[in-house]
């Protein structure tokens, strides 16, 4: 299986419904069904990702999908990564977001803004054995990301970072962090700079791990920067351009969250479809009743519509075309669909849907985060509206 995945990934950018795409999707699904599904319940219960799952993700090339081959990656398309996130999330969205953050946020930041030396130093590690994390949010800096209080002080040969970051996905497992801090507060958001921070840097510590409603196997932690020493050469991109890096990276990351949500919705729907064919009431399977059939049909329609939005946004990104509005639409819609489909799945299971012995309650718990991280639903609506309005403004005379 590993060889099949690697061979598929190393090809040219895939087209929707191509033979290569089908092969890659089937390979990832085989891995998800064979290796992840047997561990889902235990990982959720103990709120911990199984180390062997992480090992397999690296071995299969899923942690460096877009990373150029010269740095140990697969050199494939963004759309390929989206397929992988979707298929993993169909079985466990916690694993899906691990792959998503690695590819669409961390690797993407290095590929787009890293200099040659940074790429040579960090991308091979991120492709082979080291998890990355993206540290932007703070207690008072969520949707208003540029209100951050973390500071970076120039100490000559290094920067000294001080502050606290919250809700950092992969915080427990990560060895490399992209951290945002304001190095020139008097310039407002134009002082924000991105830094490459390693877990063993002096003054760096991983703090509290959150006890979450959903995606429990995915670690979400605080990180503490107490005079953290960061070498000057670890500034990612230009000094003072961290705001640009964060905005543009998150625009792409939202498509990845869209993929996570449609994968989740598919998992919940498939479980409901299977169960309604097995559960009998009044002498026949409940999927023979028109009311249940209509619910299943509505779920399938919603999933397909959200899926096309996600795929379209990913294709636009790969083609180098504007995609910000489409990414916001994809994330907003897919998160709504995931929550709605998972909720209906619970109802179709009846009393069984409300207990942990059956899979659908977990899908519902996992779905809620889709409306929150990498830009809340309200922020997506604001982005969509602003771009619609700006595009309709008459040109100045």
Q: How many Cα atoms sit within 13 Å of 255 on the Cβ side?
A: 31
- The answer to whether residues 180 and 135 touch, using CB atoms and an 8 Å cutoff, is yes
35, 252, 326, 374: the catalytic one is 374
Sequence-distant (6+) residues with CB within 8 A of 62 are: 5, 28, 84, 88, 99
Q: 3-state class of 184 per DSSP?
A: coil
Active site residue 339: no
Is residue 168 within 8 A of residue 227, CB to CB? The reply is no
Terminal CA-CA length for the chain: 61
Nearest CA-CA partner of 246 in 129, 165, 333: 165
Nearest Cα neighbor of 369 from 246, 210, 245 is 210
**Residue 4's CB: how many other CB atoms inside 10 A?**
14
DSSP letter (8 states) at residue 228: E
Q: Say whether 201 sits in a helix, a strand or coil.
A: coil
Reduced to 3 states, what is the DSSP secondary structure of residue 189? Answer: helix
Q: Which residues are catalytic?
A: 374
């Amino acid at each position: 299986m590993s060889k099949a995945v690697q061979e598929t990934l190393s090809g040219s950018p895939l087209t929707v419904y191509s033979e290569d795409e089908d092969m890659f999707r089937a390979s990832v699904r085989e891995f998800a069904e064979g290796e992840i599904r047997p561990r889902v319940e235990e990982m959720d219960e103990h709120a911990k990702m199984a180390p062997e799952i992480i090992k397999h993700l690296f071995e299969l090339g899923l942690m460096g999908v877009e990373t150029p081959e010269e740095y140990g990656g697969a050199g494939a398309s963004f759309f390929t990564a989206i397929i992988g996130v979707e298929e993993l999330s169909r079985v466990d969205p916690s694993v899906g977001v691990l792959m998503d953050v690695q590819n669409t946020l961390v690797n993407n930041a290095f590929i787009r803004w890293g200099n040659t030396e940074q790429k040579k130093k960090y991308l091979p590690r991120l492709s082979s054995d080291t998890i990355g994390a993206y540290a932007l949010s703070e207690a008072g800096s969520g949707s208003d990301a540029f209100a951050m209080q973390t500071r970076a002080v120039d100490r000559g040969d290094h920067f000294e970072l001080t502050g606290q970051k919250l809700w950092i996905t992969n915080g427990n497992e990560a060895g490399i962090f992209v951290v945002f801090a304001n190095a020139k507060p008097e310039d407002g958001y134009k002082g924000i700079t991105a830094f490459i921070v390693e877990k063993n840097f002096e003054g760096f510590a991983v703090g509290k791990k959150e006890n979450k409603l959903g995606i429990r196997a995915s670690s979400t932690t605080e990180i503490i920067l107490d005079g953290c020493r960061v070498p000057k050469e670890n500034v990612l991109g230009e000094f003072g351009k961290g705001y640009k890096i964060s905005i543009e990276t998150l625009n792409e990351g939202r498509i990845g969250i869209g993929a996570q949500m449609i994968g989740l919705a598919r998992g919940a729907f498939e479980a409901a479809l299977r169960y309604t064919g097995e559960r009998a009431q009044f002498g026949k399977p409940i999927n023979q009743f028109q009311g249940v059939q209509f619910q299943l049909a509505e779920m399938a329609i919603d999933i397909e519509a959200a899926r096309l939005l996600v795929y379209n946004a990913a294709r636009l990104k790969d083609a180098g075309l504007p995609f910000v509005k489409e990414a916001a639409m994809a994330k907003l819609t897919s998160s709504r669909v995931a929550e709605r489909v998972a909720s209906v799945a619970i109802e179709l299971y009846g009393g069984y849907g409300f207990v942990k012995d059956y899979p659908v309650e977990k899908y519902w718990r996992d779905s809620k985060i889709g409306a929150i991280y990498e830009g809340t639903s309200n922020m997506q609506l604001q982005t969509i509206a602003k771009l619609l309005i700006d595009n309709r403004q008459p040109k100045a005379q």
